[in-house]
Structures are given as C-alpha cells and as structure tokens.
C-alpha cells in the first residue's frame, strides 16, 4: 500500500513536470523574434517619450544697457599755410575756318591784243594833262622829268599793282601813282582769243612852263 502511494506520487510529479515543461518550453526562433519585437517596442516607447518630452524653458536674460562714456578731448591743430592756387588759363579753341585760296590768273606781259585807254593814246594824254596836280614843293625846287610806272589791267579793265619803275622825287612819284590809280577802266588785253590780265608800262612827263 505504501509502495502504491509512492508510485502514484512519483507519477504525479513526473506528469506535473512534463506539463510544466510543455508550458514553459519556447522555440529558439520564437525567442529571437520576441527579443527583436521587444527591442522595437522599447525603441518606439523611447522615441515617444523623446517626442512628448517638452523643450526646456527659455530663460530670458536681463537686458543690460551700456552707456558709452563721453571723453572730451581737445585736439590742437597747427596753423598750416595753404599754398597759393595757381592761375589756370583755359584756352577755348575757335573753329578753324577753311581758307579757300583764290586762284589768280597769271599776268601776261605781251598779250596778243594790248590793253588800252578808252579813246586811245591821245585821249589818255589829254586826261592826264587835265587831272595832274603839280606838287608845290616840286615847283619850288624846280623838279621836272619823266616818271616811269608799271601797272596791271585786270580782266574787267580796272587798274591794280601800280609800281614806280624809275622815279624823280617822292612828291612827283606819289602824284604819278595817284594819276594812274584814278584813271577810268581800260579795255582789257586779249591772248589766244581770251581776256587776260595784261601788264602795261607808261611814262608820265612832268614839265614846268
């Protein structure tokens, strides 16, 4: 009887151990999965706590106003002589006018047709005698003779370039030039059928009566 009870008690212990082992047995793969799941849950909870954790309060620092100290400083400035300002002359260039040189035809000394006084030589001698003014100083000094002159008869018959070729005295030479310049227009000379500037030579005789 006593053995039977011991066997029953032993069998009950064995059965209990088997049942307990069945309930507590864990597959290594399931254990690894549970560890991974547990680590994930821990990380998630940690992150949530980090997100929920409020930021630290902002501590406002007291504002300190710094007033700069004003230092009065006297600066002595030496008298510096100012150099004199030089005079500046500004030259404004004037516009340069284009100079057009007039082409002057040459003077012909011996044209085909000589220039002449209107009315001929006789009319010229009469005009000279009627217009000559014998200088008083020449009369007092008894100055007489011929004054030889040359001049140019222009294309329009006017007289220019009156020169003394051989004179007698300043007063008589001056009167001879005045007579030639005051003459009326001459008939211009011609060369090769064209009017030209002709040079003429003329003596004026000064003679006291």
Q: Indicate which CATH number applies to the domain containing 150.
A: 3.30.2420.10
**Which of 22-26, 56-60, 166-170 has the highest average model confidence (pLDDT)?**
166-170
Answer yes or no: is pLDDT of 145 > 90.
Answer: yes
Within-domain flag for 197: yes
Averaged pLDDT, 169-191: 96
Looking at the structure of the chain, the number of domains it has is 1
Answer yes or no: is pLDDT of 193 > 70.
Answer: yes
- % the chain with pLDDT above 90: 49
pLDDT at residue number 2: 46
Within-domain flag for 44: no
Answer yes or no: is pLDDT of 115 > 60.
Answer: yes
Within-domain flag for 174: yes
Domain region containing 177 = 107-206
Averaged pLDDT, 139-163: 96
How confident is the model over 69-91, as pLDDT tens digits?
555 555 554 555 656 666 556 56
pLDDT at residue number 105: 87
- When pLDDT is cut at 50, 70 and 90, the band that residue 66 belongs to is low
Within-domain flag for 131: yes
pLDDT at residue number 60: 61
Within-domain flag for 7: no
Answer yes or no: is pLDDT of 130 > 90.
Answer: yes
SS3 of the chain: the string is CHHHHHHHHHHHHHHHHHHHHHHHCCCHHHHHHHHHHHHHHHHHHHHHHHHHCCCCCCCCCCCCCCCCCCCCCCCCCCCCCCCCCCCCCCCCCCCCCCCCCCCCCCEECCCCECCECCCCHHHHHHHHHHHCCCCHHHHHCCCCEEEEEEEEECCCCCEEEEEEEECCCHHHHHHHHHHHHCCCCCECEEECCEEEEEEEEEEEEECCC
């Amino acid at each position: 009887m006593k053995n039977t009870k011991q066997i029953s008690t032993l069998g009950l212990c064995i059965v209990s151990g088997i049942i307990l082992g069945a309930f507590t047995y864990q597959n290594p793969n399931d254990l690894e999965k549970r560890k991974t799941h547990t680590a994930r849950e821990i990380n998630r909870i940690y992150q949530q706590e980090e997100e929920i954790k409020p930021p630290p309060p902002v501590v406002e620092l007291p504002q300190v106003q710094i007033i700069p100290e004003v230092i009065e400083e006297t600066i002595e400035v030496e008298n510096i002589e100012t150099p004199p300002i030089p005079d500046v002359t500004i030259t404004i260039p004037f516009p340069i006018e284009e100079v057009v040189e007039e082409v002057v035809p040459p003077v012909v000394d011996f044209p085909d047709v000589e220039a002449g006084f209107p009315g001929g030589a006789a009319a010229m001698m009469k005009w000279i005698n009627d217009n000559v003014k014998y200088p008083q100083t020449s009369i007092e000094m008894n100055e007489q003779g011929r004054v030889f002159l040359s001049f140019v008869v222009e294309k329009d018959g006017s007289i220019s370039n009156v020169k003394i070729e051989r004179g007698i005295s300043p007063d008589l030479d001056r009167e001879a030039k005045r007579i030639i310049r005051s003459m009326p227009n001459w008939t211009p000379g011609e060369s090769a059928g064209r009017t030209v500037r002709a040079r003429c030579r003329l003596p004026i005789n000064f003679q006291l009566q």
